[in-house]
Amino acid sequence: MSIVVPRFEHLLTPLGTISNIATLLGLLGTVTGNIKAFGVLGAGGTMGDPAILAGAIAEALVTTVAGLIVSIPSVIFYNYFISRVNRRIAEMENNVTNVVIKLTGRVK
């Protein structure tokens, strides 16, 4: 069992990492876009240059969407594959238990 389980889980760790990192990168882009937008507002007096302000807000929105586009499917697939792996592990443990019970003479 200890040899088989890591083979089941070997690609799940990178998939989980991708889903978490994508979310964080989208958030990071949102923060940097908002920082730029507030910088434009602060430098321009009351309103600042609307074109630069719109570009900074667009950056925040685009990075948020990009992060979510990567993250949401990654989380869905990660959870799907984790549930399959856990189901297979439970089946293997059940089969091993049945074999041990039969070998020891304690038949169900």
Tokens coding 78? 């990660």
Q: What is the pLDDT of residues 66-98, one digit of tens each?
A: 999 999 999 999 999 999 999 999 999 999 999
Q: What is the pLDDT of residues 19-30, one digit of tens each?
A: 999 999 999 999
Answer whether residue 108 shows pLDDT above 60. no
Q: What is the pLDDT of residues 33-73, one digit of tens each?
A: 889 888 877 776 666 677 878 888 898 999 999 999 999 99
- What pLDDT score was predicted for residue 95? 93
- What pLDDT score was predicted for residue 80? 96
Q: Give the C-alpha separation, 97 to 5, whole Å.
A: 17
Q: 79 CB contacts (<8 Å, ≥6 apart)?
A: none
Tokens coding 39? 């910088």
How much helix, strand and coil, in percent to the nearest 5, is found in the chain?
A: 85, 0, 15
Q: Give the C-alpha separation, 36 to 32, whole Å.
A: 6
